[in-house]
Amino acid sequence: MPSATSKGYLLGIGSNLSPHRNISAIIDRLLNHFPQLTLSRVLLIPPVGMNSDHDFLNVVVFIETTRAEQELKAICNDIETQLGRDRQDPASKIKDRPADLDILCAIQQQQDWSRSPNSITDEYFLYPLLQEICAYLTHQPYDNPQQGVDIHIGGLTFGQTATTIDRDAATRDKGIAQ
């Protein structure tokens, strides 16, 4: 599991079109690029800033990496496109979407873990997820009263609480880190 001294990025991830399938696909595709992901619980959240009947599944992910932000952004954009998001549509930000991956911030120093959520994003619905993942990675207590949503990748189930998923480089098998 990453530690509070790990460097990397926090991502906000969401989907409101086939969200269970697409969140699973997003995490699976990220694991093709990174051997380990730390995830908050997955929450069902009504759409904000758009007119839609489709609720989102949202999760915050920490990726420990030394890659440049531009390289990570290219990976995120590629995953969005693979899953059907039209990134050329000027109204894509206010439309239903199969995949939305946003780099929220870089984590470069230990004190970055103690930043308030509103200094990371103005997307207030991500605040409990940011608080949870930061508490998880700094081994601080955190009680999120919201029920998480189960997500499945093969035989792996996650989403009820913060967790770390490892990918075995030799076998490409995925597992929950203990």
Q: In which band, very low, low, confident or very high, does the pLDDT at 89 lie, cut at 50, 70 and 90?
A: confident
Question: Does pTM top 0.85 for this prediction?
Answer: yes
Q: Is 97 a catalytic residue?
A: yes
Specify the CATH class of 8-176 in words.
Answer: alpha beta
Coil vs helix vs strand at 141 = coil
Q: Is 100 a catalytic residue?
A: yes
Q: Is 41 a catalytic residue?
A: no
In this predicted model, which residue has the larger pLDDT, 1 or 68?
68
Of 78, 102, 112, 166, the catalytic one is 102
In whole angstroms, give the CA distance from residue 7 to residue 10: 10
Q: What percentage of the chain carries pLDDT values higher than 70?
A: 92
Q: In which band, very low, low, confident or very high, does the pLDDT at 171 lie, cut at 50, 70 and 90?
A: low
Domain ranges of the chain: 8-176
Burial class (CB in 10 A: 0-12, 13-18, 19+), 109: exposed
**Is 60 exceeded by the pLDDT of residue 4?**
no
